[in-house]
Amino acid sequence: MINLEVPKKAKGLVNQARQAASEVFRPISRKYDRAEHEYPVELDMLASLLDGLNTSGEGGAGAAGVRRKEDEKDSGNRNGGNLSTVLGTIEMCWGDVAMLLSMPRQGLGNAAIASVANDEQLERFAGTWSAMAITEPGCGSDSAAITTTATEDGDHYVLNGEKIFVTSGERADSVVVWATLDKDLGRAAIKSFVVEKGTPGFEVVRLEHKLGIRASDTAVLRFDNCRVPKENLLGTPEIDTKKGFAGVMQTFDNTRPLVAAMAVGVARAALEETERLLTEAGVEVDYDRPANLQHAAAARYLRLEADYEAAYLLTLESAWMADNRKPNSLQASMAKAKAGRTAVDVTLGCVELAGTLGYSEESLLEKWSRDSKILDIFEGTQQIQQLIVARRLLGKSSSELK
Ligand SMILES: Cc1cc2nc3c(=O)[nH]c(=O)nc-3n(C[C@H](O)[C@H](O)[C@H](O)COP(=O)(O)OP(=O)(O)OC[C@H]3O[C@@H](n4cnc5c(N)ncnc54)[C@H](O)[C@@H]3O)c2cc1C
């Protein structure tokens, strides 16, 4: 049974993450929102601390902390790396989402490596920073439409294609690239490859200017006859048309709860700041009285907070399931859908409730409303999560329900 209190052993991590968020992230939040594309050097020290937490096996507050240990013996209820990482991520994103996305060695590629790499690869890529490149100019939500190719040639695969909107694409040491071994064989032929910076034929073309998470670098990458050693393929090279996408898609079961956690964190930040402003303005939120008997602003606040609670609980559930080796694809998509939308609704709702202060750069509310939108887009949009949930609940395949 899931226990909804923060597990005792995660409390230290949560406190440390909260401290880092308030003492490191918050003070530089506005500075790097304005200085788009500039690396926040203040993160270097903190990154070393996170490395320590991740190698302790108890998770941390970044993507590198997630791993599903399929071979562990069932020993009852387990609060492991996924739950700890989600709890840490919530705290860090209470501080600043873009800063967490800019943390060295905590990229989504690290989560892919942590999720599906073999022991030799885990060791070889330990301590490096890895981005994740799926999206292409002609392929976003429909990741089965990937056109980047990987052609076998002796001890190497030769990669050709273009990837767009790659988070940490410029700063990371490597990129986990999704490419097809054979376009005619569809989804099953899509594999992921770790491509290290400096590999001939791998080029960062440009950085994007964005609405939010402006401290995070988002890159366009090109692969032109880029030769990648065979041992950099993650998972199995076999093309099993019966299993389809299973290998590469497995990463999402671990990363979607993480993105949901980012959304929960930024929503909580906005709620806390708004409650403070409401109190200052003489509006008390009373939890013992029905919402409809309170000030309209308090009633609105209570509705936003209820949505936040639902998102928070779904997020914890999906991570807890991953730790307890329960299939969590449905819950991971539910959490991502609910939390992504809630972060957008809550942060914009808080901008409204705070009036002119909410819209001005005097507070961080306007920034949070810009930062939150991406959490409803990457790692699968709101609509795609709903599609996945519907397929799972109705027992339909991706070709039956598109
Ligand atoms: C800041 C930022 C960072 C990113 N980081 C990364 C990264 O690190 N790595 C990476 O690989 N990608 C990354 N992305 C890309 C992101 O994952 C894609 O933008 C996302 O998957 C959507 O793809 P798309 O933009 O091509 O939209 P499309 O797939 O073209 O979708 C457009 C709209 O149509 C909707 N839609 C599509 N199909 C359906 C359907 N079947 N039913 C109903 N509605 C549908 C979508 O929900 C969306 O609203 C990033 C994007 C941004 C903006």
pLDDT digits (tens, 9 = 90+) for 95-148: 999 999 999 998 989 988 988 899 999 999 999 999 999 999 999 999 889 999
Q: Where are the domains of the chain?
A: 8-124, 130-234, 246-394
The CATH fold of domain 246-394: Butyryl-CoA Dehydrogenase, subunit A; domain 3 (1.20.140)
* Residue 24 DSSP label: I
Considering only CA atoms, which of 266, 264, 236, 235 is closest in space to residue 251?
235
Catalytic residue at 284? no
Give the pLDDT band (50/70/90) at residue 57.
low
Question: Is residue 374 in contact with ligand 1, taking CB distance under 6 Å?
Answer: yes
Residue 24 reports pLDDT greater than 80: yes
Residue 75 reports pLDDT greater than 70: no
Distance from the CA of 178 to the center of ligand 1, in angstroms?
15
Q: Report pLDDT for 210.
A: 98
Question: Is residue 166 in contact with ligand 1, taking CB distance under 6 Å?
Answer: yes
Average pLDDT of the residues in 261-265: 98
Give the pLDDT band (50/70/90) at residue 361.
very high
Average pLDDT, the chain: 92
Cβ-contact 301, 354 below 8 angstroms: no
**CATH number given to 130-234:** 2.40.110.10
Question: Is residue 254 in contact with ligand 1, taking CB distance under 6 Å?
Answer: no
Average pLDDT of the residues in 309-319: 96
Q: Report pLDDT for 72.
A: 54
Give the pLDDT band (50/70/90) at residue 74.
low
Q: Report pLDDT for 67.
A: 62
Q: Report pLDDT for 263.
A: 98
Residues recorded for the chain: 402
Residue 338 reports pLDDT greater than 70: yes
Q: Report pLDDT for 262.
A: 97
Q: Report pLDDT for 71.
A: 53
Q: Which of 97, 377, 386 to mutate to test the pocket of ligand 1 (most atoms within 8 A of CB)?
A: 377
Which residues are CB-neighbours of 313 under 8 A, at least 6 positions away? Answer: 4
Average pLDDT of the residues in 241-260: 81
Average pLDDT of the residues in 27-37: 97
Distance from the CA of 176 to the center of ligand 1, in angstroms?
18
253 or 307, higher pLDDT? 307
Nearest CA to ligand 1 atom 23: 140
Q: Report pLDDT for 143.
A: 85
Question: Is residue 225 in contact with ligand 1, taking CB distance under 6 Å?
Answer: no
Q: Report pLDDT for 34.
A: 97
Task: Identify the CATH assignment for 8-124 out of 1.20.1070, 1.10.540, 1.10.287, 2.60.40.
Answer: 1.10.540
Q: How far is CA 132 from CA 112, 139, 166, 257, 372, in A?
A: 8, 15, 6, 16, 20
What is the rounded CA–CA span in Å between residue 378 and residue 97? 13
Residue 60 reports pLDDT greater than 80: no
What is the rounded CA–CA span in Å between residue 349 and residue 114? 36
Q: Which of 97, 256, 341, 381 to mutate to test the pocket of ligand 1 (most atoms within 8 A of CB)?
A: 381
Give the pLDDT band (50/70/90) at residue 92.
very high
